[in-house]
C-alpha cells in the first residue's frame, strides 16, 4: 500500500489542502473577531470593499445558476 505513488500523492495533496484550509479558517476567525470588536464606523474601507466584491460574486454565481 505504501509503495504505490498514488497513495503518497493523495497524502501530500490532502496535507496541503488541510494546511490551507486551516490557515483560511484562522484568517476568517481573526477577521470576524476584529469586526465584532470594532464599531461599524471603524471598519476599514478596504475591508468593506472586499466584502462587497465577495457578496457581488456570490450574487452573480446564484444568478448564473438560474
How far is residue 6's CA from residue 39's CA, in Å, rounded to a whole number? Answer: 50
How far is residue 32's CA from residue 29's CA, in Å, rounded to a whole number? Answer: 5
pLDDT recorded at residue 1: 60
Indicate the SS3 state at residue 9: helix
pLDDT tens-digit map of 8-47: 889 899 999 999 999 999 989 988 887 776 666 677 888 8
Indicate the SS3 state at residue 25: helix
How far is residue 9's CA from residue 6's CA, in Å, rounded to a whole number? Answer: 5
pTM of this structure = 0.46
Give the pLDDT band of residue 2 (cuts 50, 70, 90): low
pLDDT recorded at residue 48: 86
pLDDT recorded at residue 66: 79
pLDDT recorded at residue 38: 61
Amino acid at each position: 500500500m505504501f509503495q504505490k505513488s498514488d497513495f503518497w500523492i493523495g497524502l501530500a495533496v490532502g496535507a496541503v489542502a488541510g494546511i490551507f484550509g486551516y490557515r483560511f479558517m484562522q484568517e476568517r476567525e481573526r477577521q470576524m473577531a476584529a469586526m465584532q470588536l470594532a464599531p461599524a464606523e471603524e471598519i476599514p474601507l478596504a475591508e468593506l470593499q472586499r466584502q462587497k466584491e465577495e457578496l457581488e460574486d456570490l450574487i452573480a454565481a446564484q444568478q448564473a445558476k438560474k
